[in-house]
Amino acid sequence: MPLKVHPDIASLSPYVPGKPIEELQRELGLARVIKLASNENPLGPSPKALAALSDGSSTLHRYPDGGAFRLREALADRWKVTLDQVILGNGSDEILGLLARTFLAPGDEAIMADQTFVIYKMEVTAAHGTSVIVPLKQWRHDLPAMADAITARTRLLFLCNPNNPTGTMVSADEVEQLLARVPSHVVVVLDEAYFEYVRSRQFPDSMAYVKQGRNVIVLRTFSKIYGLAGLRIGYGVTTAEIANFLNRLRPPFNANSLAQRAALAALGDDEHVARSRAVNEAGMGQVVKGLTDLGFAPIPSEANFVYVDIRRDGRKVFDAMLREGIIIRHIEGSMVRVTIGLEEENMEFLAVFKRVIHSQ
């Protein structure tokens, strides 16, 4: 008997993550591998988080605090909201899945950009919803067109800000004009995974929209600037009403005990965050200049990665770089995304990239 799989699920392709360093080392026998593929913090985790992890290991035989009281309290305190407005996820990825399953019945619509975080479409399809795709305009979310796409069947609108993979942002003014046009049956998902890297003063204060009682959820993560991607923990801040619905589906121990502890410590490590921002800013300057000197025009980025048209087969360049131990991300066609690394890593990337493109 052939397996009976729901056609929506059968239509999905497995998510292809950035290649792990050890795998590439094994495959190619390389001593040195530089991973600039998954927007991880090149400085590593906060030292305070590491200390909290070793303190927490002796109680691993206990279940985690399912309500994650201390971490949620710290987040509520940080963002000046109430405890019942904070929800944790096994990475903010998990919260995207909870949103899709909570709000989408078959055929309901979710609006998203054409070039954005691929998990949105995957979760919408998995929840049997319909993705309504609105093309970016000059590499940025086209918010007026997204508002035009709203129908009576729209339930979710995904806004990735800064956007992955382009690194571009939309301003407070633009988001406010969008929100003014969003009816109350639509939840706006403000995915701000790179929030802590943003330099622009035009960036929205999204927590204010939550406090105004709008139907929005702000997603943040400990995977990027806090350097805890391997632990899987992220959070959402929203209205108590929306959090209450999401909590009905949330697995009770989705945020594990070590992740809760490490995240709490990392949240209080302002020095690590400041250093990470500074290293990223300097590295961004270095990589943008290097690419520009080679004749490319990287798209100005507010995040910890840069998106660039390399005007050649991106897949081939990706493969050639891989053979030299540099992992970048091929997105599509001639577009690649490169995470900003440490100074030496950026230098090595630029040197290898220069060699590779001259042979393509």
User: 306 with 284: CB under 8 angstroms?
Assistant: yes
Choose, by CB under 6 A, the member of 45, 227, 234, 325 that binds ligand PLP.
Answer: 234
33-62 footprint of ligand PLP as x/- string (CB under 6 A) = ------x-----------------------
Residue 182 or 193: the one with the smaller Cβ distance to ligand PLP is 193
Tokens of 116: 């954005």
Judged by CB under 6 A, does residue 164 bind ligand PLP? yes
Of 50-58, 86-94, 137-145, 148-156, the window that binds ligand PLP (rule: CB under 6 A) is: 86-94
Contact present, 35 and 329 (Cβ < 8 Å): no
d(CA 208, CA 157): 18
145: tokens are: 């067109």
Q: How far apart are CA 126 and CA 141, in angstroms?
A: 24
How far is residue 111's CA from residue 26's CA, in Å, rounded to a whole number?
41
Cβ proximity of 256 and 68 under 8 Å = no
Applying CB under 6 A, which part among 3-11, 61-69, 220-228, 287-295 lies near ligand PLP?
220-228
Q: How many residues does the chain have?
A: 360
Pick from 115, 125, 166, 221 the residue near ligand PLP by CB under 6 A. Answer: 221
**Binding of ligand PLP at residue 209 (CB under 6 A)?**
no
Stretch that binds ligand PLP, among 89-97, 142-150, 309-317, 335-343 (CB under 6 A): 89-97
- Taking the C-alpha atoms of residue 323 and residue 86, their distance in angstroms, rounded to an integer, is 44
Nearest approach, Cβ of residue 88 and ligand PLP (Å): 10
Binding region for ligand PLP (CB under 6 A) out of 58-66, 209-217, 223-231, 337-345: 223-231
Asked if 346 touches ligand PLP (CB under 6 A), the answer is no
Shortest Cβ distance from residue 193 to ligand PLP (Å)?
A: 4
Task: Return the closest-CA partner of residue 106 out of 124, 92, 132.
Answer: 124
Residue 193 is a binding residue for ligand PLP (CB under 6 A): yes
DSSP letters, 181-200, are H--TT-EEEEE-TTGGG---
Residues that bind ligand PLP (CB under 6 A): 39, 91-93, 117, 160, 164, 191, 193, 221, 223-224, 229, 234
